[in-house]
Amino acid sequence: MSAYRYKFVSPDGETHTGQVRAESVDQATQELSQRGRVISIVPLLDTAQPLEEAEEGAGATPGFLSSLRKKKTKTEDVITVLRNLGVMAESGVPLKEALETVSLEAGTPDLTETIRDIKDRVIGGSALGEAMREHPKMFNTLACNMIAVGEEGGNLDKALGSAAEQMERSAAMRGKVINALIYPAILTVVSFLSVISLVVLVLPQFVETFKQMDIEPPLMTRMLMAFGNLFRLYPLVTFGVSIAIFVGAKLAWKREDVRRAVLVFALRIPVVGELIFKVALSRSIHTLAALTGANIRLVESLEHAANVAGLPSLESAFLTAQDDLQNGQTLGESLARTAILPSTLVQLISIGERTGRLAPLLDRAALQMENDADARLKAVVSLFEPILIVVMGGVIGMITLSIITPLFSIMQKI
């Protein structure tokens, strides 16, 4: 169970704060709602430390040490803010008061400053969604649009909850990908360092022995020695070139044409291409479900689904469907002609349009695709690990062979 810091107002008007343990934010909110009007609920990162100690510790670190402890705003912090705003909106708390309360519980200085700026803009007459658009690093366009539509339709609490859920799902998928790649990344780094150590430290000692015994090393050994000499004799140059390559690759990745070229290549790789497509499709369908569920027009929802897809084929399919809708066709008919989306998904969309349950059916389909993408991700990682081991084993074996081959010549001379 997780711990949460809460603040609520009892029926007699008294404000209460404290901690509560629950399985989720929703469960904590439900329990506290029985005791009064919930103002805010914030997860505690360190449940072993009492709230009073945490607050004292936070205030006991002045000056330079305080700057060292300054936290960066994470997606989870923004999600918590949106959820708390949704809870307070549902409880009837005025928006200005809710923003002020959330700013006190934001958790990071940057987020606190952002929320206070949003509050000032709201006081000045701006809508919440419009004010949030001024801070794109904190609140993405999709969340701002959902909140803006919720304000116009009088469903701000639901819109805030939907925006938080959408950001949470995106962060969860991103976290799954990162966690799956941690072990292969560590294995790659360790293998690379092992190869460099063999070439730079071990191989030169054997080569010196070969020279003393007047034995000509084979071509493979000489090539590896030339590679090792770059690291031993010109470490600064090698380091500088490595940094330049890294920076160049990072700058190149910012170019849209480079990213698309890499994406097209990755899509052609078996298994990997299927994974990329499933993740992109799941993200787009989740977006479409969230927006239609927030009563945003389907034509506008398709444009957002295309923007978050990240794949040219999916972008084209959704934008084509957008044009077809404006010409009087149904979404299911348009997507069926593209022959890109799975037939089961197209059928669900057609059923949802006929029955008026498009949003829940889209949400269910997106969840299924997310599970499929998760399973595919595990399959890709399980396939990549043995391939990486074989490749690095082959490289190390080649280095070992470059050492052993001249040793046979030495044994023959003896």
Most confident of 37-46, 64-73, 317-326: 317-326
- As a whole number, mean pLDDT of residues 66-80 equals 71
State the SS3 of 372-404. Answer: HHHHHHHHHHHHHHHHHHHHHHHHHHHHHHHHH
Tens-digit pLDDT profile for residues 6-19: 666 666 666 667 77
φ, ψ of residue 15 to 5 degrees: the values are -90, 135
Calculate mean pLDDT across residues 158-163. 85
The domain 171-414 having CATH identifier 1.20.81.30: the answer here is yes
Domain 2-139 shares a fold with domain 171-414? yes
Percent pLDDT > 70 in the chain is 85
CB 343 within 8 A of CB 181: no
Segment 37-41 shows an average pLDDT of 60
**Is the confidence at residue 176, as pLDDT, over 90?**
no
Q: How far apart are CA 353 and CA 365, in angstroms?
A: 14
pLDDT on residue 47: 41
For position 8, what pLDDT does the model report?
66
Domain ranges of the chain: 2-139, 171-414
Residues 380, 263: Cα–Cα separation, whole Å:
16
Output 115 or 400, whichever has higher pLDDT: 115
What band does 62 get if pLDDT is binned at 50, 70 and 90? very low
What lies within 8 Å, CB to CB, of 338 at 6+ separation is 316, 317, 320, 321
Which SS3 state, helix, strand or coil, does residue 330 take? coil
Residue 6, strand partner residues = 18, 41
Structural element, H or E, at residue 77: helix 75-90
- Do 292 and 283 form a contact (C-beta atoms < 8 A)? no
| pLDDT computed for residue 54 by the predictor | 39
Q: Higher model confidence: residue 270 or residue 50?
A: 270
The model's pTM: 0.63
DSSP 201: I
* CB burial readout 171-194, b (16+ within 10 A) else e: eebeebeeebeeebeeeeeebeee
What are the φ and ψ backbone dihedral angles of 45, each rounded to 5 degrees?
-70, -35
What average pLDDT does this structure show over 194-219? 77
Lowest mean pLDDT among 50-59, 105-114, 158-167, 291-300: 50-59
Give per-residue pLDDT as tens, 181-199: 788 888 888 888 888 888 8
Helix (H) or strand (E) holding 37: strand 37-43
pLDDT value at 49 more than 50: no
Least confident segment among 18-27, 230-239, 268-277, 314-323 = 18-27
Give the other-Cβ count within 10 Å of 383's Cβ: 13
Task: List Cβ<8 Å contacts ≥24 apart for 174-183.
Answer: 176/374, 176/377, 177/279, 177/377, 180/377, 180/378, 180/380, 180/381, 181/381, 183/381, 183/385
Q: Are 320 and 340 in contact (CB under 8 A)?
A: no
The whole-number average pLDDT for the span 272-281 is: 85
pLDDT recorded at residue 70: 55
DSSP-derived letter for residue 47 is T
User: For residue 43, which phi and psi values (nearest 5 degrees)?
Assistant: -65, 145
Provide the percentage of residues in the chain whose pLDDT is more than 90.
4
Average per-residue pLDDT in the chain? 79
Q: What's residue 1's pLDDT?
A: 63
Q: Is the pLDDT of residue 276 over 50?
A: yes
Report which listed range, 21-30, 230-239, 330-339, 398-407, is most confident: 330-339
| DSSP structure class, residue 4 | E
Confidence of residue 68 (pLDDT cuts 50, 70, 90): very low
Find all residues with CB under 8 Å of 267, minimum gap 6, and list them. 273, 276, 277, 311
Contact predicate 18/4, CB 8 Å: no
**What are 188's two structure tokens?**
């790659």
Closest of 20, 12, 16, 10 to residue 42, by C-alpha: 20
Q: How far apart are CA 117 and CA 123, in angstroms?
A: 10
pLDDT tops 90 at residue 244: yes
- Burial of 397: CB neighbours in 10 Å, binned 0-12, 13-18, 19+: exposed
Name the residue among 176, 99, 256, 194 with its Cα closest to residue 393. 194
Better-scored residue on pLDDT, 184 or 319: 319
pLDDT at residue number 248: 92
Please give the C-alpha separations between residue 136 and each of 65, 81, 131, 217, 279, in angstroms, as whole numbers.
30, 15, 10, 60, 23
CATH code for 2-139?
1.20.81
